[in-house]
Amino acid sequence: MSELVGNLLVAQSGGPTSVINASLAGVIQEAGRHECIEEIYGGANGIFGILNEELIDINDERARTIEGLRHTPAAALGTCRYKIDFKKKPEKAAQDMDRLFEVFQAHNIRYFAYIGGNDSQDTSHKIHEEARKRGYELRVIGVPKTIDNDLPHTDNCPGYGSVIKYNATTVMEVGFDVGSMATDDGSCCIIEVMGRSAGWIAAGTVLAKRGNPANPPHIILLPELPFEPEKFLAKVKETVAAYKYCVVVVGEGIKDTAGQEVGADKTRLDSFGHPVLAGAAEELKELVQGKLKTKTRTVLLGYTQRAAAHCASLTDANNAFATGEAAVRAAIAGESGYMVKIVREIQPDGTVKWSTGLQPLADIANVEHFIPREWISEDGYMPNEKFVAYAQPLIEGEVRYPIESGLPKYVVLEKTRVEKKLPPRVA
Amino acid sequence: MSELVGNLLVAQSGGPTSVINASLAGVIQEAGRHECIEEIYGGANGIFGILNEELIDINDERARTIEGLRHTPAAALGTCRYKIDFKKKPEKAAQDMDRLFEVFQAHNIRYFAYIGGNDSQDTSHKIHEEARKRGYELRVIGVPKTIDNDLPHTDNCPGYGSVIKYNATTVMEVGFDVGSMATDDGSCCIIEVMGRSAGWIAAGTVLAKRGNPANPPHIILLPELPFEPEKFLAKVKETVAAYKYCVVVVGEGIKDTAGQEVGADKTRLDSFGHPVLAGAAEELKELVQGKLKTKTRTVLLGYTQRAAAHCASLTDANNAFATGEAAVRAAIAGESGYMVKIVREIQPDGTVKWSTGLQPLADIANVEHFIPREWISEDGYMPNEKFVAYAQPLIEGEVRYPIESGLPKYVVLEKTRVEKKLPPRVA
């Protein structure tokens, strides 16, 4: 392998997480150790910003700020949901690719690290192939990121451990609250969490039980299994009879037996003629209150769960950082067209040793990874001990962060722009 | 004042908070220091449990557990929403009062500390008056508790500092997240918080701005001021134009100019014929998406905010503990018919010195305390520097808590029951 001298470009894509900036810090700090990398640039708002030649001069940032990225939530470079879509818009995609390589060439980009989920790994894969085709020497490495934990081949996805640590903490706390109010009247609390069509995030709240069946959550509704209202209501009734209250966690993407999303009621239109999306938790609340006459409250965690860096997992943050470092080391070693994956090795004493590996991007792009059926209880309402053994190590350890005036002190990049060398993009 | 020898009964009432157990610990630990208090009993589920003679033997609990109450959320004794209502149900109320004094007499209760909000202070007041009338020697002290911060005469209510510390942290984190995704398309995020008809909780999220007008939250909707849709939409539009995104915090109890709660749409019925309560945030989302075509997401924090002991304010927890201690000291000193209040004294160096005082329960019961208009910006969408000066000291300091398997380790009382001496209550 010959040494490739040039600049490195790193960018972030898709929904942010508590630890996506830890991966960014890993890329930047590792890149700083290698002389063949001359400049480190960040793409502002992912591919979208790169297409507009919006590059951030990372070497202009303070070292203290880069270190602070290890405990700062959200995407410090900015992120996007832009997709280079060769299937649906082949002409536009070809144009975008031309423009991308113009930008790469103009700024002598030879290393490209893209931090993101399924779509972003697909984009990285396409850029890697395109570089080969064009004979442009570029080393492309994908860095995994998604709270949904649905990337294949990696043990887990950076962001996931932190979201379930925060959600399990929250469900445990809400459980204490609702339990302390429980009287013979009975009550129900329904907490909706993210995860799209994968149930990993919902499943992770099982850790709040700490091994005690009486502890909340009492029911976890996973999108992997069809939602059956009568069976669910019977389970709520049984739980309220046993404990006087019932805490339900529901993954936002649950579907009924016909494959329709629960909470997306297309028969009810708002004043502007759009279908009212009540959300799964609200829909279930109506069901429980209506059929069982049990007082029900809902919680919709939304963005809070993926941004809750004040409750991030140190294991997750360290793995996120390590994937960023590993991406740069792989590229320096001459690799391209891979995603860094997290590897778990259980030690003789039962603790986990984490390391990283490489997986061809071709194996990753657009493949979704779901919870195996054998990790879920027979009745479908609770992940079992196999899932717990998998998830428990991911929430170990706490990320420490500075506090100012009673609030976490997160960092913000200066984002000095690199001088543009190209005419504006023709969109 | 003659020494009064007998037993102490402490109970918790209404919605729990992150620090209501710190007040309980204060009561218990202070009571343990006085020989005239022979036994310490806890009422299970507040007045409701006391009526059923459900008393918990606190001296049977481990000292370690009592200490752990200082960082444990929810009501460790159990709580209730039971009200002795002399106005609406005078006969039932008189019956309840008779039964209460039967229980007091049977267990030689001479000290009664009731930890709660407006309703509970009213109950304490009635019990105090009733004892005088009956010539039963009893010292009744109310301990303040409510996240809503709407009790009068006290500087603040234990529970409030912690809820706004957690909510400000959360709004800041969500702000980082939404801001990092902002592109020219613009986006909006609406976060609904508790507080009923008072805006104290919503207002507290102003601390997330850390003095920078560009920082979220950009708009805070307070129930103290009528909601005007057109004016609100103009403000959202202006914010999105300036920053590409807009974070809105809305107090659950906001009302329109006709005094109707926003989100309680009585014209839309669910499948069981009940009005659909979309909630304020969902209603505003429909409005923003419908009228401005701006992509909008919602967060409904619900019970999470009042249970989030993992992010509790040390100032708040210490004040909560101090009010518990002060209640017992006042009762020992011969006082009855008072609520402990928190007193703020600003030191020459600008720091705050906290202490407690006593206020007659007659001044407290059923009075609601709202945010002064002069603490809110002219346009009504942001608490001003006067509010910030008030709220900032309340979130200072972090409650430390033990961690086990990556989650906070909260305590649970054993709740050994005191032997019953009376026939069952005739309800």
The pLDDT score that the predictor gives to residue B6 is: 98
Q: Domain B160-307, what fold?
A: Rossmann fold (3.40.50)
Q: Which residues of B touch A310 (CB under 8 A)?
A: 169, 173, 311
Look at residues A227, A148, A146, A149 and name the one whose alpha carbon lies nearest to residue A190: A227
Write down the CATH number for the domain with range A6-146+309-366+397-408. Answer: 3.40.50.450
Mutation choice for B interface testing from A178, A272, A300 by most B CBs within 10 A: A300
Structure confidence by residue, pLDDT tens digits, A220-257: 999 999 999 999 999 999 999 999 999 999 999 999 99
Q: What integer pLDDT is reported at residue B271 of this predicted model?
A: 45
Q: Point out which residues pair with A344 in neighbouring strands.
A: A354
Query: What does the pLDDT look like over A361-372, one tens digit per residue?
Result: 999 977 889 999
Asked if the Cβ–Cβ distance from A405 to B398 is below 8 Å, we say no
Compute the nearest-CA separation of B106 from chain A (Å): 24
pLDDT at residue B426 in the model: 83
Q: What is the distance between the terminal CA atoms of chain A, rounded to a whole angstrom?
A: 38
> What pLDDT is attached to residue B276?
53
Return the bridge partners of B29, or none. Answer: none
Round to whole Å and give the CA distance between A249 and A260: 19
Tokens of A263: 């909470």
Nearest-angstrom CA–CA distance, A143 and A319? 11
User: ipTM score here?
Assistant: 0.97
Which residues make Cβ contacts (< 8 Å) with residue B77, sequence separation at least 6? A180, B10, B11, B12, B24, B42, B43, B44, B45, B46, B56, B413, B415
Residue A202 has pLDDT above 50, yes or no: yes
* pTM for this prediction: 0.97
Q: What pLDDT does residue B272 have?
A: 47
Residues of A in contact with B303 (CB under 8 A): 174, 177-178, 189, 297, 299
Query: Are both B6-149+310-365+398-408 and B160-307 of the same fold?
Result: yes
- The catalytic position among A148, A150, A155, A316 is A148
Question: φ and ψ at A354, to 5 degrees?
Answer: -95, 140
* pLDDT number for residue A271: 45
Judged by CB atoms within 8 Å, which residues 179-208 of B form the interface with A?
179-183, 189, 207-208
Q: Residue A277's pLDDT band (boundaries 50, 70, 90)? A: low
Closest residue in chain A to residue B211, using alpha carbons only: A405
As given in the structure block, the two tokens for residue A338 are: 């891979």
- Residue among A143, A77, A53 at smallest CA distance from A328: A143
CATH class of B6-149+310-365+398-408: alpha beta
Whole-number CA gyration radius for chain B: 23
Contact list, B181 vs chain A (CB under 8 Å): 15-16, 75, 78-81
Tens-binned pLDDT, residue by residue, of chain B (427 aa): 568 999 999 999 999 999 999 999 999 999 999 999 999 999 999 999 999 999 999 999 999 999 999 999 999 999 998 889 888 999 999 999 999 999 999 999 999 999 999 999 999 999 999 999 999 999 999 999 999 999 999 999 999 999 999 999 999 999 999 999 998 889 999 999 999 999 999 999 999 999 999 999 999 999 999 999 999 999 999 999 999 999 999 999 999 999 998 987 555 554 445 555 569 999 999 999 999 999 999 999 999 999 999 999 999 999 999 999 999 999 999 999 999 999 999 999 999 999 999 999 999 977 889 999 999 999 999 999 999 999 999 999 999 999 999 999 999 999 999 999 999 998 6
Is A160-306 a CATH 3.40.50.460 domain? yes
Q: What does pLDDT average to over chain A? A: 95
In the set B148, B150, B155, B316, the catalytic residue is B148
Do A172 and B407 count as a contact with CB atoms less than 8 A apart?
yes
B89 at interface of A, judged by CB pairs closer than 8 A: no
Residue A330 has pLDDT above 80, yes or no: yes
Q: Which of A178, A310, A408 sits opposite B303 (nearest CB)?
A: A178
Distance CA A186, CA A244 (A): 5
Q: Which residues 223-282 of chain A have a CB within 8 Å of chain B?
A: 268, 270-272, 274, 276, 278-279, 282
Q: Which residues of B touch A178 (CB under 8 A)?
A: 303
- Across the A/B interface, how many CB contacts are shorter than 8 Å? 216
A322/B contact by beta carbon, under 8 A: no
The verdict on whether A256 is a catalytic residue reads no
Neighbours of A162 (CB within 10 A): 31
Nearest CA in chain B to A71: B173
B298 touches chain A (CB under 8 A): yes
Interface check for B413 against chain A (CB to CB < 8 A): the answer is no
The domain spans of chain B are 6-149+310-365+398-408, 160-307
Q: Write out the two tokens for A289.
A: 């209150």
Query: Could you tell me which residue, B82 or A352, shows the higher pLDDT?
Result: A352
Query: What pLDDT does residue B365 have?
Result: 75
